[in-house]
Structure 1
Amino acid sequence: MLKVLVSGCLGGVPIRFNGTGVQASSPIWRQWAAEGRLVALCPELAVGFPVPRPPAEIVGGSAADVLDGRARVHELPGRDVTELFQAAAQRAVDRAMQAGVGIAVLVDGSPTCGSTYVHDGTFAGVTVAGRGVVAEALHRHGIPVFPHHDLGRAAATLADLERRSAPRG
């Protein structure tokens, strides 16, 4: 049975940068929880960030650029936390590989977990299409990443992966 890596704040756990959580109470979520599929991880907490913490944004490029050393991640008011975000990405990939994760469901919009959009690096509330640093690292390792609001597509992909990996007999 393939597992599902999920942002640690999903399910309402109040560990986001501002001390809040994100509710996840769909039938799909409840089924995955009952089946023991959920592998919760907050990559930021895993590398020592506190709760609450200053907001952070990718500056000067994309998450891919951060992983490749061409862009940075800054907190407001400007502290460079790039190395911590890179370490968080590696921690998430390691955890996913150890746990037998097939897909990831992450909170969208985060510089860590965003899978379809992130903020533009100006701290002005402007969003742009793109991935967070952890989402990009998981994608690079062949793990499909979905936003928390698209569990239907995530479940379909997980089912397809399991069908393709089932032993033929």
Structure 2
Amino acid sequence: MLLKKITALTLAGFMTLGAVASFAQDAFVAPTTPEAAVAAREVLMKSNGATLKAAGALTGAEASAAMQTLLDNFTNMAAVFPEGSITGDSKASPAIWQDWAGFTAIIDTGKAAATAGLAAAETGDATAYGAALKAIGATCGTCHEQYRLK
């Protein structure tokens, strides 16, 4: 019974990762309205969360795909936070735009960690891959602590 649960959870994780990877591979189009920006960043953040959750158990091409998804997401992240896009259910803090340099520095940190993680995944360096995942998780936590409304 436990093996069936583990198998089902693993399969669900791979399916989620596949859906997330296909989202990240689509051509990114910057949102043009505040509502679209909020929706786009919710998708991006959920993509990051699902990818990070599944990525620890991945190796080979799947690990590379996960890191590529994270790298794509960090590359596009600033574009989903245009000024004036606090609307509806947005959890973005006004501090983002008051400290844009600090906000984008955190994004750059995530991008650098994802770049390192992609290189590690492609070479099969499990230690460096794990370190990159931890760095990305810490980056997300730092950003949410400073720039996300509670």
* Greater percentage in helix: 2
TM class by smaller structure = under 0.3
Q: Which has the higher contact order (CA 8 A, sep 6+)?
A: 2
TM-score, normalised to structure 2's length?
A: 0.27
* Greater percentage in strand: 1
